[in-house]
Amino acid sequence: MNRVSFPCLVLVLALVFACRSSAAFNLSMGSSLSVENPYQTLLSPDAVFTAGFFPVGVNAFCFGVWFSEPSTSTHNLTVVWIANRDEPVNGQHSKLTLHKNGNLVLSDLNRFTVWSSNTASNSSAHLHLRNTGNLVLFAARHNVVLWESFSSPTDTLLPQQLFTRNTQLISSRSVTNYSSGYYSFYFDKDNTLRILYTGPDVSSLFWYDPWLLSYQAGRSTYNNTRIATFDSLGSFTSSDNLIFSTIDYGAKLQRIFRMDPDGNLRSYSRKGLGDEWNVTWEAVLQPCKIHGICGANSYCSYVPSTGRKCSCLPGYIMVRNTDWSYGCKPAGFSLSCKSNAKKEFGFVHLPRIEMYGYDYGVYGNYTLDQCESLCLDLCNCTGFHYKFGDGQYQCYPKAQLRNGYRSPAFVGDLYVKLPKGLLNATFRDPNNMCSAKLTEQLDRTYERSNPNGSIQFMLKFASALGGLEVVCIFVVWFFVTRRSSGDKKDSELEVLAQGYLQAAGGFRRFTYSELKKATKGFKEEIGRGGGGVVYKGILSDQRVAAIKQLNDCNRGEAEFLGEVSLLGKLYHMNLIEMWGYCVENKHRLLVYEYMEHGSLEKNLSSDVLDWRKRYEIALGTAKGLAYLHEECLEWVLHCDVKPQNILLDSDYNPKVADFGLSKLLNRSEHTSSEFSRIRGTRGYMAPEWVHNMPITSKVDVYSYGIVVLEMLTGKNPTESNVQWDEGGGETYKKIIVQSVMEKINLAAHHAETNMGGEDEEKLEILVEVALQCIQEDGNARPSMSQVVEMLLHREF
Ligand SMILES: *[C@@H]1O[C@H](CO)[C@@H](O)[C@H](O)[C@H]1NC(C)=O
Ligand SMILES: *[C@@H]1O[C@H](CO)[C@@H](O)[C@H](O)[C@H]1NC(C)=O
């Protein structure tokens, strides 16, 4: 420290203490704390907590307890208890008095009692703020507790504070408004801990998942004690078996556990005075599943940069311009009963939007037409869900459209009932950054020759999404992904449903030390590339994992979390499953399932794959990519399809790895600006990258075609003597095609000896598909789902 500044510091500290000199440790009978003197406060003996008046609005004050030290960067007080959150007092003449009868009373200029401890008729008492943050009124003689703030929490639980059948945490109305909000955390009548949303017009339980029975959610209903505690090491224990540790469990830190205004229950910690609070646990991992965030007739969707956003359903407009909890109302139409409903109303189809609850019932084995006419006949039916389950299509007509959220994992479509006149109208939602119009521009995208036009728009759009340098993942407005669910294969739907369950489970945050331990200090390297080194590790629950340490990921924590949680939600049997991630200081790691047989590259060089297996691998890989391109609402382009990124499980089922990575990493492999947008691996890269043409899902189709050719010939395009240049892989292509032809001719010659006729047929189909995929003109290439169709329809 600078020598001159030291005496200054001492002086400043002395002044601070002088100013605080009116802060006391005890309030005795007959004395009071006044709102007019901000330094009249109570301090805990270790000075960590302060009790006193704090402003909550213009000339409005509350009495409460807070952490003495605000976060240095935001200057926000961390208030942990409030006496009068819904009845702030005047900035003059208000005071907290400990009356001679032992009653602690908060009074206002006009109101004698705003709040009281109801402890009159005690001959002696004193008020004391303990080191735990508990404000306690003691009967002086026997140190009997007459009243304590810990028994009436506001929205926060502190370590050592018992949570009981008589207490609940109620969220604040907003981050800046401390009055009672919409969410409460409490022990329900069945002895389990729940979160209840109580909004302006409805209420509903949403945590734990309301469709689960308590035991399915890991809760017990049998213990009637209804007690939960939370300690300063980060462990939470409840009588209903809800037991968890925070991600930083074990360190003795300042901690709080709070029902937040956004409906999530979180635990926070901070290391020292003035630090920011870090989230160390949260109840709901998918923020759109929180009820009431987007009110009636609106739906919540995931946005990487801000977490989530609300949008009105088509045909509906916002009720209150700034407050989504009031939802949306019909844009000038009514659904009242009309005899000619069938003529006047129709439906807008919105894939993959869930609206939980408010069903008239479930109608099994209904066709879409039957479901539509059912809803038209019910005069208050606002729309319906149509989804596949239990081996048949089911129809769920809705009385109200609430708890809406859009998720790539949700299996089912929403049909909103609207007057025919509104069906084709375009609704522009000002909060919605990707409306249908913008998407049209997105599709054209990026011509460098036109820097003022679409590219600038693209860049703005991209930075709005999270500051990407080049967009590899397109978030495309949902209405234009027009595939109807009707023609989806049942098996595909089941796979998705399975994914829905899985996605709801395991995805979590790991600490760096956890992963270090799992990999025994990053010892066993199993792969390299795609932005980092991959290590084998064994997690604390004994699962074997592949842990990827990202090298040059310069994404900030929030951005990284946004992207990663999106990737964590993707599930398909042909995509590597992501179990979690770690973001800590400079460390950025991803935790994946471990694949027994390693990469396709490794297996191609050995001779374990027969033609049948190769065919299955080509098909599985195509399914995984098709899911990325089309099933996901957010179009995810892989941009680096190659045999190293196709992994094989113990049954040689392929799983695509490293998808979405191009977005996580801000790579700049080539310093020359000409090449700065190039992603992928030479040899597998589509000509569009080189020719500066729009990047669409067809770049992955091209790479896929090259991979199939490589599977057929064993010739690695990166090892060929061909120089990769502005001509794309043209020369390589010629060589490899020639080689394929030779192989086929060879195979034909040996048809009787080496290969069965079936194998030969497979080979021909693969060649045919691969050649279509590597066409120079991206538009001429099939889509990944067409490839799947082509391969499927020739199954043997
Ligand atoms: C806080 O929210 C309550 C309830 O919505 C409202 O009545 C009150 O005016 C708000 N206070 C401030 C300071 O905005
Ligand atoms: C569904 O309905 C069709 C025609 O009405 C019928 O043939 C079929 O057996 C039904 N399926 C089930 C599972 O009930």
Position 519 pLDDT exceeds 80? yes
Closest ligand relative to 366 C-alpha: 2
Within a 10 A sphere around the Cβ of 11, how many other Cβ atoms?
A: 10
Structure tokens at 126: 């004193």
Nearest to 465 by CA among 589, 617, 302, 577: 302
Residue 338 pLDDT: 67
Position 616 pLDDT exceeds 80? yes
Residue 51 pLDDT: 96
Distance CA 525, CA 65 (A): 51
Nearest to 570 by CA among 657, 639, 491, 665: 657
Which one of 85, 89, 174, 177 would you pick to mutate in the ligand 1 pocket, going by the greatest count of ligand atoms within 8 A of its CB? 177
Task: State mean pLDDT over 94-98.
Answer: 94
Nearest to 647 by CA among 616, 703, 710, 602: 602
Phi, psi angles (nearest 5°) of residue 728: 65, -155
Q: Which of 413, 640, 658, 759 is catalytic?
A: 640
Position 167 pLDDT exceeds 80? yes
Ligand 2 atom with least separation from CA of 392: 13
Q: Mapping DSSP to helix (H, G, I), strand (E, B) and coil, where does residue 72 land? A: coil
Is 173 near ligand 1, meaning CB less than 6 Å away?
yes
Ligand 1 atom with least separation from CA of 173: 2
| Distance set, CA 229 to CA 191, 238, 242, 457 (Å) | 15, 6, 11, 51
Q: In angstroms, what is the span from residue 366 Cα to ligand 2's centroid?
A: 9
Which one of 362, 365, 371 would you pick to mutate in the ligand 2 pocket, going by the greatest count of ligand atoms within 8 A of its CB? 365
Residue 732 pLDDT: 60
Q: Mapping DSSP to helix (H, G, I), strand (E, B) and coil, where does residue 207 land? A: strand
Distance CA 198, CA 291 (A): 9
DSSP letter at 305? T
Closest ligand relative to 60 C-alpha: 1
Q: How many percent of the chain have pLDDT more than 90?
A: 33
Q: In angstroms, what is the span from residue 177 Cα to ligand 1's centroid?
A: 6
Which residues sit with their C-beta closer than 6 Å to ligand 2? 365, 392
Q: Whose CA is nearest to atom 12 of ligand 1?
A: 177
Position 747 pLDDT exceeds 70? no
CATH 3.40.50.720 at 506-593, yes or no: no
14-18, 259-263, 360-364: least confidently modelled range: 14-18
Helix (H) or strand (E) holding 760, with range, is helix 757-773
Q: Whose CA is nearest to atom 6 of ligand 1?
A: 179
Give me the residue spans of the domains in the chain: 1-277+437-460, 298-435, 506-593, 600-793
Nearby residues of 572 by Cβ (< 8 Å), 6 or more positions away: 495, 496, 499, 623, 624, 627, 628, 631
Name the more confident of 641 and 11: 641
Position 725 pLDDT exceeds 50? no
For 717-743, letters b (16+ CB in 10 Å) and e give: bbebebebeeebbeebbebbbebbeeb
Asked whether the domain spanning 600-793 has the same topology as the one spanning 1-277+437-460, the reply is no
Amino acid symbol at 610? D
Position 448 pLDDT exceeds 50? no
Q: Whose CA is nearest to atom 10 of ligand 1?
A: 177
> Contact, 114 vs 108, CB < 8 A?
yes
Q: In angstroms, what is the span from residue 86 Cα to ligand 1's centroid?
A: 9
Q: In angstroms, what is the span from residue 299 Cα to ligand 1's centroid?
A: 25
Name the more confident of 374 and 734: 374
Position 157 pLDDT exceeds 90? yes
Helix (H) or strand (E) holding 5, with range, is helix 5-19
Distance CA 756, CA 761 (A): 9
User: Which of 67-76, 290-299, 571-580 reaches the highest mean pLDDT?
Assistant: 290-299
- pLDDT bin (cut points 50, 70, 90) of residue 554 is low
Q: In angstroms, what is the span from residue 32 Cα to ligand 1's centroid?
A: 28
**Helical H runs in 546-680?**
557-569, 600-605, 611-626, 661-664
Residue 266 pLDDT: 92
- pLDDT per residue over 212-225, tens digit each? 888 888 898 999 99
Q: Whose CA is nearest to atom 1 of ligand 1?
A: 177
Q: What is the mean pLDDT of the chain?
A: 77
Structure tokens at 491: 């098996």
Ligand 1 atom with least separation from CA of 178: 1
Task: State mean pLDDT over 348-364.
Answer: 88
Q: Whose CA is nearest to atom 5 of ligand 2?
A: 365
- pLDDT per residue over 661-708, tens digit each? 665 554 333 333 333 345 667 778 888 777 777 777 788 899 999 999
Contacts 24+ apart (CB under 8 A), 489-493: 490/388, 490/391, 493/388, 493/411
Q: Whose CA is nearest to atom 6 of ligand 2?
A: 365
Our CA dihedral for 561, 563, 567, 568, rounded to 10 degrees, sits at 10
Is 174 near ligand 1, meaning CB less than 6 Å away?
no
Q: Whose CA is nearest to atom 11 of ligand 1?
A: 177
Distance CA 704, CA 685 (A): 10
Which one of 87, 173, 320 would you pick to mutate in the ligand 1 pocket, going by the greatest count of ligand atoms within 8 A of its CB? 173
Residue 477 pLDDT: 23
Distance CA 179, CA 173 (A): 6
Q: Whose CA is nearest to atom 14 of ligand 1?
A: 177
Closest ligand relative to 369 C-alpha: 2
Position 226 pLDDT exceeds 70? yes
Is 57 near ligand 1, meaning CB less than 6 Å away?
yes
271-275, 439-443, 614-618: least confidently modelled range: 439-443
Tell me how many degrees the CA angle 15-19-21 measures, rounded to the nearest 5. Answer: 115
Nearest to 49 by CA among 80, 14, 76, 90: 80
- pLDDT bin (cut points 50, 70, 90) of residue 104 is very high
Name the more confident of 640 and 316: 316
640 assigned to active site: yes
For 452-488, letters b (16+ CB in 10 Å) and e give: eebeeebbebbeebbebebbbbbbbbbbebeeebeee
- pLDDT bin (cut points 50, 70, 90) of residue 443 is very low
Instruction: Give 26's strand partners.
Output: 128
Task: State mean pLDDT over 559-587.
Answer: 79
Q: In angstroms, what is the span from residue 774 Cα to ligand 2's centroid?
A: 44
Into which CATH architecture does domain 600-793 fall? Orthogonal Bundle (1.10)
Which residue matches tokens 């699962």? 543
Residue 172 pLDDT: 96
> Contact, 661 vs 531, CB < 8 A?
yes
Q: In angstroms, what is the span from residue 365 Cα to ligand 2's centroid?
A: 6
734: number of CA atoms within 13 Å, CB side?
6
- pLDDT bin (cut points 50, 70, 90) of residue 752 is very low
Task: State mean pLDDT over 130-152.
Answer: 90
> Contact, 300 vs 309, CB < 8 A?
yes
Q: In angstroms, what is the span from residue 392 Cα to ligand 2's centroid?
A: 8
Reply yes or no: is the peptide bond before residue 732 cis, omega within 30 of 0: no
Position 386 pLDDT exceeds 50? yes
The sheet with strand 243-245 has its strands ordered as 228-230, 235-238, 243-245
Position 528 pLDDT exceeds 60? yes
Phi, psi angles (nearest 5°) of residue 60: -130, 130
Residue 33 pLDDT: 94
Nearby residues of 11 by Cβ (< 8 Å), 6 or more positions away: none
User: Which of 59-73, 181-195, 284-298, 400-414 reaches the highest mean pLDDT?
Assistant: 181-195
Ligand 1 atom with least separation from CA of 177: 1
For 782-793, letters b (16+ CB in 10 Å) and e give: bbbbbbbebbee
Residue 150 pLDDT: 96
DSSP of 13-26 = HHHHHHHGGG-BSE
CATH 3.50.4.10 at 298-435, yes or no: yes
Which residue matches tokens 């306690």? 136
Ligand 2 atom with least separation from CA of 364: 14
Q: In angstroms, what is the span from residue 485 Cα to ligand 2's centroid?
A: 19
Within a 10 A sphere around the Cβ of 628, how many other Cβ atoms?
A: 26
Residue 566 pLDDT: 67
Residue 423 pLDDT: 79
Q: In this structure, which CATH number among 4.10.490.10, 3.90.1150.10, 2.90.10.10, 1.10.10.60 belongs to the domain 1-277+437-460?
A: 2.90.10.10
Instruction: Give 392's strand partners.
Output: 389
Closest ligand relative to 370 C-alpha: 2
Q: Whose CA is nearest to atom 3 of ligand 1?
A: 179
Name the more confident of 712 and 760: 712
Distance CA 559, CA 306 (A): 9
Is 180 near ligand 1, meaning CB less than 6 Å away?
no
Q: Mapping DSSP to helix (H, G, I), strand (E, B) and coil, where does residue 348 land? A: strand
Ligand 2 atom with least separation from CA of 391: 13
DSSP of 139-180 = ETTTTEEEEEGGGS-SSEE-TT--B-TT--EEEESSSS--SE
Residue 586 pLDDT: 85
Distance CA 750, CA 722 (A): 30
DSSP letter at 599? B
**Helical H runs in 672-755?**
687-690, 698-713, 730-749
Is 179 near ligand 1, meaning CB less than 6 Å away?
yes
Ligand 1 atom with least separation from CA of 58: 13
Q: In angstroms, what is the span from residue 114 Cα to ligand 1's centroid?
A: 17
126: number of CA atoms within 13 Å, CB side?
13
88-92, 560-564, 634-638: least confidently modelled range: 634-638
Closest ligand relative to 365 C-alpha: 2
Q: In angstroms, what is the span from residue 162 Cα to ligand 1's centroid?
A: 29
Structure tokens at 395: 């129809």
Residues in the chain: 796
| Distance set, CA 468 to CA 231, 309, 457, 530, 677 (Å) | 40, 20, 13, 17, 11
Q: Whose CA is nearest to atom 14 of ligand 2?
A: 365
